[in-house]
Chains A and B, each alone.
Chain A
Amino acid sequence: MTVLFGCDVPETCHFDVERDVWVRFEGELAVLGMTDLAQTRGGKLVNITFKKPGKLIAQGKSAATIESAKWVGPFPLPFTAEIVETNTAGFTRDILVANKDPYGAGWLVKVRPVDLSAERGHLLTGAAAVAAYREKITALGVHCFRCVDNPQE
């Protein structure tokens, strides 16, 4: 895992850097979530609304609406895919799950890509992803931070 200005960029993930979405391929399926940078820029979530499993979402179209106190954003898919599962349970248990663990428990959707070979050209991984994020984070002047459980709460 590379850390840039506090932002984790796990080399095992694939990234749609422009849309700030990470992808982990699991056989025919792919798990997707917000990057550390995306959760930092969005701030503490107050609400998330998922599109329903079974729905086909075109590349760039939104699979969920993510909302913090000051920000509402789409969760754009890096490639056309059918939603197989949403992490509704995880966010119901803890709406801050993506703010605490964006690459783990804070995943958003599991999807079945429709034509991955044609639509994955822009995804970056490993050193290429780290380099792209170094440039993006430097340009934005952002320093990432995570929410942590406060044992006194």
Chain B
Amino acid sequence: MEPIRVLDIGLVPPVRSQAIYHGVAYALGPGTPDTVILVGPTDPYVCIGYHQELEKEVDVDYCRQAGLPIYRREVGGGAVYLDRGQVFTQWIFHRPALPAALEERFALYVQPLVETYQGLGIPANHRPVNDIHVQGKKIGGTGAAQIGEAEVVVGSLMFDFNFDLMARVLKVPSEKMRDKIFQSLNEYMTTMTRQLGHTPDYAAVKREYVRHVVQVLGRPAEYADPTPAELAATAEIEARLASDEWLYQKGGLRQTGAVKIHADVYLLEATYKSPGGLIRATARLRDGRIDDLSLSGDFTLLPAFAVGALEQALRGVALEGGAVRARVAEFYRSLPVQSPGVGVEDWVSAVMAIKGQMPVSS
């Protein structure tokens, strides 16, 4: 039974707390053990999901003024403010070592987190698809991705969380909306510190987490250090995660609502809330057909190229429910994609929501 390697890296600069699991994933070879990384950032930062549009999700000006760096990860999910209050639990595994179905993979990944919380007396449970709840409040989410040859699942041990700054860094249409977000975070999120009335010892909780990983996976775990090759790959990734080109990707169609280009061409945008996350569809419509399409949001869709493939598949399709449905269904039949909580009908609804943005006169 091959041991799992545990890299308990402690506190590292913000960019490294994201880059390290990308680096370990890209450096993964046949002889690399399945790896669990425990890491936290020395300083606060903002992290956006793979499919998100930076300027739509994050108040970039505020972050700049506040000295908060922003990084885009290669894993789906939403924009989040992160600091020392969280210890990230990052799994970088070989494909056969994890269940193929994402729902099962999340369930497996979440179990040791849930058991660690329960061991502290916090009544946590898995809230499918990929959240952990404590009596209706979320104590952290998780995300999955394929990075290089590796299967990656990430999440955190939520010691503490800065609700105020989380609400502050998000891009919102009004301050009233920001207040509502802050209230909602307060009402619907929780942390170990809130549940226990004190912050538990980080080292003890991390050890306990690894014990549960061993129990859940039925494999031993060995504490070790990253290899020089992994550190080199991590350093390379750090430069990319911080680059503007990477951060601002998906920024090609940034208009909101509807913009008429000429009589037959419109730029339209709509959002749709699916069980698996928010989908934002931005489309250029020409003579009633989808001329260009960008899909972003905090959903999970694997493999990573599938979003681009779906966007491509919908080009040229008439903006009609039946036509869109047929094309999306064909896409799902032809590619082994996984999108927990997002089905064919959700994509259809997201794309068809664009129609609602058309000016009435058209």
Say which size band chain B's interface belongs to: 10 to 19
Give CA–CA (A46, B224) in the complex, Å.
Answer: 17
Q: Is the interface of B mostly helix, strand, loop or mixed?
A: mixed
- Over the window 220-231 of chain B, the binary record of Cβ atoms lying under 8 Å from chain A Cβ atoms (1 yes, 0 no) is 111110000000
Contacts A47-B207, A67-B207 given; does A74 touch B223 at CB 8 Å: no
B222 partner, pick from A49, A71, A74, A76, beta carbons under 8 A: A71
Task: Judge whether B260 is part of the interface by a CB distance below 8 angstroms.
Answer: no
Q: Are A74 and B214 in contact (CB under 8 A)?
A: yes
Contacts A49-B211, A65-B211 given; does A71 touch B223 at CB 8 Å: yes
Across-interface contacts of A67 in B (CB, < 8 A): 207, 211
User: Which among A61, A69, A72 has the greatest number of chain B C-beta atoms within 10 A?
Assistant: A72
Q: Are A74 and B207 in contact (CB under 8 A)?
A: no
Q: Which of B196-224 contact A (CB under 8 A)?
A: 207, 210-211, 213-215, 218-224
Across-interface contacts of A60 in B (CB, < 8 A): 218
Q: Are A73 and B220 in contact (CB under 8 A)?
A: yes
Task: Judge whether A62 is part of the interface by a CB distance below 8 angstroms.
Answer: yes
Q: Are B214 and A72 in contact (CB under 8 A)?
A: yes
Instruction: Give the nearest-CB partner of A70 in chain B.
Output: B223
Across-interface contacts of B220 in A (CB, < 8 A): 71-74
Instruction: Give the nearest-CB partner of A67 in chain B.
Output: B211
- Over the window 98-127 of chain B, the binary record of Cβ atoms lying under 8 Å from chain A Cβ atoms (1 yes, 0 no) is 000000000000000000000000000000
Give CA–CA (A61, B215) in the complex, Å.
Answer: 9
Q: Are B214 and A73 in contact (CB under 8 A)?
A: yes
Instruction: Give the nearest-CB partner of B223 in chain A.
Output: A70
Q: Are A72 and B221 in contact (CB under 8 A)?
A: yes
Q: Is the interface of A mostly helix, strand, loop or mixed?
A: strand
Give CA–CA (A146, B6) in the complex, Å.
Answer: 25
Instruction: Give the nearest-CB partner of B119 in chain A.
Output: A49
User: Which among B6, B214, B224 has the greatest number of chain A C-beta atoms within 10 A?
Assistant: B214
Give CA–CA (A47, B208) in the complex, Å.
Answer: 10
Give CA–CA (A38, B287) in the complex, Å.
Answer: 72
Q: Are B210 and A74 in contact (CB under 8 A)?
A: no
Across-interface contacts of A70 in B (CB, < 8 A): 222-224
Across-interface contacts of A47 in B (CB, < 8 A): 207, 211
Instruction: Give the nearest-CB partner of B6 in chain A.
Output: A72
Q: Which of A57-83 contact B (CB under 8 A)?
A: 60-62, 65, 67, 69-74, 76
Q: Are A73 and B221 in contact (CB under 8 A)?
A: yes
Give CA–CA (A72, B210) in the complex, Å.
Answer: 7
Give CA–CA (A76, B6) in the complex, Å.
Answer: 20
Give CA–CA (A71, B211) in the complex, Å.
Answer: 10
Across-interface contacts of A72 in B (CB, < 8 A): 6, 207, 210-211, 213-214, 220-223
Q: Are B218 and A71 in contact (CB under 8 A)?
A: no
Across-interface contacts of A62 in B (CB, < 8 A): 214-215, 218
User: Which among B3, B220, B221, B222 has the greatest number of chain A C-beta atoms within 10 A?
Assistant: B220
Across-interface contacts of A61 in B (CB, < 8 A): 218
Instruction: Give the nearest-CB partner of A69 in chain B.
Output: B223
Give CA–CA (A76, B207) in the complex, Å.
Answer: 20
Give CA–CA (A65, B207) in the complex, Å.
Answer: 12
Across-interface contacts of A65 in B (CB, < 8 A): 211, 214-215
Across-interface contacts of B207 in A (CB, < 8 A): 47, 67, 72
- Shortest beta-carbon distance from A61 to chain B in Å: 7
Give CA–CA (A7, B215) in the complex, Å.
Answer: 27
16 contacts between A and B (CB under 8 A): A61-B218, A62-B218, A65-B211, A65-B214, A67-B211, A69-B223, A70-B223, A70-B224, A71-B220, A71-B222, A72-B207, A72-B211, A72-B222, A73-B221, A74-B214, A74-B215
Per CB-CB distance, the 10 closest pairs between chain A and chain B, nearest first, are: A73-B220, A72-B221, A70-B223, A65-B211, A72-B214, A72-B210, A71-B222, A74-B214, A65-B214, A74-B218
Chain B residues close to A by CB (< 8 Å): 3, 6, 207, 210-211, 213-215, 218-224
Chain A residues close to B by CB (< 8 Å): 47, 49, 60-62, 65, 67, 69-74, 76
Q: With contacts A65-B214, A72-B221, A73-B220 known, what are 10 further pairs, Cβ within 8 A?
A: A47-B211, A65-B215, A70-B222, A72-B6, A72-B207, A72-B211, A72-B213, A72-B214, A74-B215, A74-B219
